[in-house]
Amino acid sequence: MGAEDNVPLDDKAKRMRDLLSSFYAPDPSTNNAPSNPGTLDAINTSSFDADQYMNLLIQKSNLDELLQRHVEMAAEIKNIDTDLQMLVYENYSKFISATDAIKRMKSDIVGMEANMEQLLDKIMSVQSKSDGVNTSLFEKRENIEKLHRTRNLLRKVQFIYDLPTRLGKCIESEAYVDAVKFYTGALPIFKAYGDSSFQDCKQASEEAISIIVKKLQGKLFSDSESIQARTEAAVLLKQLDFPVDSLQVKLLEKLEQSLGDLQLKTDDIENASMESNDPKLGKVPDSVHITAHEGSIRGFAEAISAYRVIFPDSEGHLIKLAQDLVVKHFETVEQCVKGRFSCANLLVVLRTIWTDVLLMDEVLSEAVLPGFSLEAAQNALKQHVASTFNYLLHDISDALLRLNVSSKEAAEENPLQVALEASKKALLQGSMDVLLDFRQLLDDDLGLLVQLRDFVSDWVQEGFQDFFRALYDRFFLLSGRKSSSSQDQGLTAGAHGEKVLAGLVLVLSQLSVFIEQTAIPRITEEIAASFPGGGARVYENGPAFVPGVMCRIFRSAGERLLHHYINMRTQKVSTLLRKRFTTPNWVKHKEPREVHMFVDLFLQELKETTSEVKQILPQGLERKHRRSDSNGSTASSRSNQLRDDKTNRSNTHKARSQLLETHLAKLFKQKVEIFTKVERTQESVVTTAVKLCLKSLQEFVRLQTFNRSGFQQIQLDIQFLRTPLKETVEDEAAVDFLLDEVIVAASERCLDPIPLEPPILDRLIQAKLAKWKEKNPITP
């Protein structure tokens, strides 16, 4: 039963089609399916022969196939019976429903014919009565219509006779619109009968109109009149057929002059901004300014619309005027954003400008003002972003430069710590405030800003990149050094007008570390959360903001500034040492009576350094590098042994013999690692500064020639320094080594290197220590 048709169908669809065909088309001729009585497929055709089919089936099939075919045919017969039964049931239900519907229709139509006949009789009766009424009133209706036409004509005649009086009243009340309306309405009658019946009325009306024309011309060129009044005058003159084309140049010049009054004023914007920020005033005064401005712009738009009708060839000039007004608006905005101008106030101004643009675009779409204003807004917003970051940079600089003032007034106990905390707050809180302020530009649904959101995100990220680079340059300018990209020399006049404080350099170093470790990661997270998207601009050198690069820059800056601070402190001591060693004549030096004053000055400088470092840097690990820990202990002990041996010898020959031993010892001594990496801790910075100072002291000693007393003075000074330095520095071994090297260098440059006797040396040192402890009761 698998007959093949032109359209492939499944078995059930084929059975349904055959059943419907057999039910609705019992004629065998309607079945066009091709058949071959000699095939097994002929069972589905009208020419089916059962005997022939059975013989063919027996010939071609074995017993198993016959049994299988028997099962299949039994199932197909059952399915066909079921489908046929369902088809009969479905059609039977439809026939029952159709029969019920026909019965209902018959019962409803039974009384309808009688009702229709009654309705027709009533309609005919009404029509006959209406014809009677029309016939009886026909003559009266014609008379009424004639009287009505006569009445209208008399009204028009009366209007013509009253027209001069009406025009005079309009002139008195300056109702020129009504006057022109009355006169233009009477013109057809004057043209038809003005030379005969209404000659006097026409003459009087023309005299009144001539007065009106002069009045309108006066308003047209009056500077005291508004744009709306002048535009209205031009339209009325055009309606009176006055040749206004000759006045086009003057009228457009007047319209151009009015741009100055329509332009947003810087004072008005600043006043509106101050009022909008005043909690007592709220934002009501701001709306008053905007409403007044919007009224003026509406008048300007109406003037443009009217002039386009009056002067069809003035479109190009009007487009230029509209674009010039937009340019002037944004020039005012650029002037405002040069100062401190919040995004909330900027949004008020941009919303006002966008409203003006839309009003003018309604009457002058050819100017494409939305696109034109979009380009101008890009420049204004970019300048606003740059100006905001510039003021943030100034705030941080001001917080740092206050350190100079506070150091002079000495009003604060820890000025460096105060300056550092103030700078951190100005940087981090200022950056967060800037991001929060800029976020308003993205959240606002103003049509002008919606198109610039990606640009704003790019500008903010680019602004932070430029801001940190400028801050990097500013740090080095404030420190008295030049960075690789320093360019703005005028920004640090306050720092270079006087000597740079070493404490300021230390603050800058620690602030650089804060920027690297805290500020940049925090700002990066906020940018990622609040300023997604971007990418509207193509950057030749990579993304707008690269936190990794900025972190590396400020890490390097922190290290450089820390070394610069140590060098500044060391240079100050070096200046002191230069004066100390170049002033006296060491060959004629007198016997030492006490520790020299330069030691007090040196310790005072060390005390200031320690005080500054304690305010800024953290403490390191509690570890002292003792002499026994150093690989140079052998050399140091040899130097001490040299000094002790010298005290036991009393003649010059033995001292010089010992000097030879010193040279031999230096050849075999182990090298001490003096200058290690500077850690960002109090102890490391102070120790490094002391090492550099002692190394400088050693070099100054090597440049001089000493007599015995001069050598003994150096010995006394250095021996005294051991105790206070031991309490201050971290690497005691290296400091002891350097102190020993100073004594050795002095002995090498001495003509008679005989040291002080130990009792005398101890007595002088103890006396000085007592005085020093009185001045410094608390050990630094």
User: Model confidence over 546-578: pLDDT tens digits?
Assistant: 888 899 999 999 999 999 999 988 988 888 888
Residue 488 pLDDT = 44
Residue 734 pLDDT = 84
For 309-321, what is the mean pLDDT? 80
Decide if pLDDT at 325 tops 60: yes
* C-alpha torsion sign, points 171, 172, 174, 177: negative
In angstroms, rounded to a whole number, what is the distance separating the alpha carbons of residues 745 and 70? Answer: 128
pLDDT in tens, 82-125: 888 888 887 887 888 888 888 888 777 767 777 788 888 899 98
Which residues fall within 8 angstroms of residue 414, CB to CB, at 6 or more apart?
615
Identify whether the C-beta of residue 308 lies closer than 8 Å to the C-beta of residue 315: yes
Side chain identity, residue 419: A
Query: What's the pLDDT band for 522 if we cut at 50, 70, 90?
Result: very high
Name the pTM for this structure.
0.64
Query: What's the pLDDT band for 627 if we cut at 50, 70, 90?
Result: very low
Which residues fall within 8 angstroms of residue 205, CB to CB, at 6 or more apart?
163, 164, 167, 183, 186, 190
In angstroms, rounded to a whole number, what is the distance separating the alpha carbons of residues 509 and 680? Answer: 10
Identify whether the C-beta of residue 41 lies closer than 8 Å to the C-beta of residue 2: yes
In angstroms, rounded to a whole number, what is the distance separating the alpha carbons of residues 637 and 627? Answer: 9
Identify whether the C-beta of residue 401 lies closer than 8 Å to the C-beta of residue 495: yes
Share of residues in the chain with pLDDT > 90 (%)? 8
Query: What's the pLDDT band for 290 if we cut at 50, 70, 90?
Result: low
Share of residues in the chain with pLDDT > 70 (%)? 77
pLDDT in tens, 701-735: 999 899 999 998 998 999 888 888 888 887 788 88
Residue 125: is it exposed, middle or buried by C-beta count within 10 angstroms (0-12/13-18/19+)? exposed
Residue 518 pLDDT = 92
pLDDT in tens, 183-238: 888 778 777 776 777 777 878 888 888 888 888 877 777 767 776 777 777 778 77
Q: Which of 614, 706, 661, 118 is nearest to 415 (CA)?
A: 614
What does pLDDT average to over the chain? 77
In angstroms, rounded to a whole number, what is the distance separating the alpha carbons of residues 17 and 773? Answer: 122
> 3-state DSSP call for residue 677?
coil
